[in-house]
Structure 1
Amino acid sequence: MDKKTVIGIVLVCAFLFSGGGLLLAGGGAIAAMAGVFNGGIGGSGADDGGNGGAPPGTVCDPGGGTLTEHIPGYGSHTVDEQDMANAAVIVRVGEQTKIPQDGLIIAIMTALQESKLENIRGGDRDSVGLFQQRPSAGWGSIEEIMDPSYSAKAFFGGPNHPAPPNPPGLLSIKWETMSKGRAAQEVQRSAFPEAYDKWESLAGKIVGRAKDIKCQDVGLEGDVGKVIAATKRWIGTPYCWAGGDEKGPTHEERCPPPMPPGFDCSGLMHHAYAQVGIALYPYTGNQWEAGTRVRDYADLKPGDLMFWSDDGTVEGIHHVGMYLGNDQMIHAPRTGKNVEIVPEVSKNSYWMNQWIGGSRILKEGAGSNKDSGGTKAVGVPLIGPRREM
């Protein structure tokens, strides 16, 4: 019997024989007992393999000093600061290459299996680096592969592939149609093709930490986490009237090159929901008509759309944002401003004097877009012109 189990038994017995008095002892006994049965006192709770109920691979950071998880068939694994720094390089390169989040997870799964996210000089035969890429297979020189940025670019491939044409990177295969583990294998050609899948849950947490997506933002909904992440990714992006599509910010008449591309309010929402296969029309009027009406501000849930009207009528709707939870909204404000998070919205008279209601696009309890409309367009024919706030 290990020490943690003994401590757990002592705590439970003390609680039972004290008539519940231990509940108040130090204010933390219950949390301590919960820790015992979830992998140990003071643990992060990550050993259960989940993200607070979110599906495996959901991108979010569960918090705590380190990320520790039980890996099936392997055992407990902890990601330290250096591992996380290497992972952050992979995620940054992936974002620069416009890799969707599932592709980022595949890359981290691969590096976890191949090197445990350690930039090692040596391995099977001539394999080196985070992805254990082989110079003899055309991945590059040892010095090049030992550069985490280079090796990540080589793994993703595509237009930024540093060693074309062989071997192909992730963007050279139809990875979106495959399981994540199979996609990793198609790039790596490993002797152990089934070895990657077990890392998916931890990889989602690592990507979440690298992208600063807190699990409280995600809740229990996989798709909610994805649409929130899709908006937070663009914090600081300029407002551009009529800007934004499925792929990200765009240049439009009012923000032509060399001005940076941007979003307007409904364009940002259109982009976010496209990441889970839902095609919202990029107009506030259409988005108001989509989904299920949320009439009271207090009933909003993370991921819901929030609408603001000049005069309290549908015809007066001029702006849309997304509720993040914790009384926060993310939106693309107006010309001259950038995508931002607004705290304590309910305490802001400017906003609440214009509040008209919300729309819930994802079904409650939906873990995937199969439950929420798939790739069908959501909304009705165009009600009126886009209007800048």
Structure 2
Amino acid sequence: MPEPSPTSSKRRGRLFRFGAAFVVLSAVAGYLVVQYVTGGTAGPGCRVVSGDDDGAVYEFTPEQAVNAATISAVGTDRGLPERAVTIALATALQESGLRNIEHGDRDSLGLFQQRPSQGWGTEKQIMDPTYAAGIFYEHLVKVSGYTKLPLTVAAQRVQRSGYPEAYAKHEPDATLLAAALTGRAAATLTCEGRPAAAATAGPDAVRTALVRDFGRDALQEAGAEVSGSGGGSGTKAASTPAPGVTAESSGRTVTVPVPSATGDSAGRSSEERGWQLAHWAVANSSALHIARVAYAGREWTAGSTDSQWRTTGARSDGGAERAAADSVRIVTAQ
């Protein structure tokens, strides 16, 4: 049997080295793509499924979940319809990937890539998600008949983008998110809920975040009295803990009352309000160290293998479930 030539051995060695280098470069490129898409946010993800049993699913990061929940809360706090929230979410998905980024084209910033030089606010204001969402909605409601327009047309009349057709591709995902985060589609949003390294913990952090996103008026409807002033272009009440959002004797539970009548100009029901609050808590679970959320006879628990909403011990006559629908219970990990 002939001995392999030195030339053949060298060629095989070069091919092996080239192949190994290609694998390493591919892995690095894949990592960089993931970091770009997620904004460098490592850790567990979130998931929203269709409430219509059509198999539609959207998966996203905890950072994106927090921002999406804020955008939805700001919209519903203004009494705007679900369509407005869908348009806002699709716009933010296109402009920033639902990340509150500090860079963009020219002086564009934040979730919606708004420009200080074009009158959208100061840099500090634009980098505040509640302000950014509020000022977006202020412009959106000035668009005549925006709820009847194609999404990409309505978004473009606010944004004046160089790529006006780009918003359309995000409509399916934004529709799923809006249905969950406005509370119309019950028990459809879940997260793994493992705390982020720099997460803010405890009931006080949950109260502060509730006031930040839902504002003074929304909490007062639930029987809370919140000090501080709100109003203005997307501004919220001062982040003072709301007396009506009470911590129970365990020291880790925040109970948020759900009003029997929302008084919502968009016609949302009390149950929808409850599911909005419950989904908001799950979306913020990694950021706020939330371990468990319960509402209307269903419960989500952080770190479970399937992150599903499970049925709790409601009686066969529905009594326990009706009682549970009066409030959303948020239990923190510490």
- Whichever structure has more helix as a proportion of its residues is 2
Question: Same fold by TM-score, threshold 0.5 exceeded?
Answer: no
State the structure with bigger RCO (CA 8 A, min sep 6), 1 or 2. 2
Calculate the TM-score normalised by the size of structure 1.
0.37
